[in-house]
Amino acid sequence: ANFPEQVVENFPSDISAGIYYGWACVGNGDVHKMVLSIGWNPFYKNIKKSVETHIIHTFKEDFYGEILSIVIVGYIRPEKNFDSLEALISAIQEDIEEAKRQLDLPEHLKLKEDNFFHLPEGKIVNNH
């Protein structure tokens, strides 16, 4: 789930490029573990900064146009380039496993229930 360019441009500038973990919620659905990439994805030679969310859950259908709410909990590693697609895929799989381990810790697990994810229907936050 990629954030639109306008959202990326408004991300806090002091967040370093890299791989993060946290919690994500699509619409008013359930809260799931996630891994977040912030940066330029050097393997794909992107020229624009992107924020890409990998929600650790299998959805039954696409959720284009839904509001994606995230809470960044921690940092895994800096952004880096890879020699092959296989090396990139392997690193992503390692990032997912690290995120799962970290988010199972009690101090991180409690954030899954934060009121941030349970806004009343129709509530608009930050003009979205």
| Tokens representing residue 28 in the block | 């008013």
CA distance 45 to 19: 17
Q: C-alpha 3: how far from its chain's center?
A: 9
**Joined tokens for residue 85:** 């697609």
* Residue 94 near residue 71 (C-beta atoms within 8 A): no
Gyration radius (Cα) of the chain, Å: 15
52 is catalytic: yes
Task: Give the phi and the psi of residue 110 in degrees, each rounded to 5.
Answer: -65, -25
- Pick the catalytic residue: 9, 52, 79, 94? 52
Query: Which of the residues are catalytic?
Result: 52
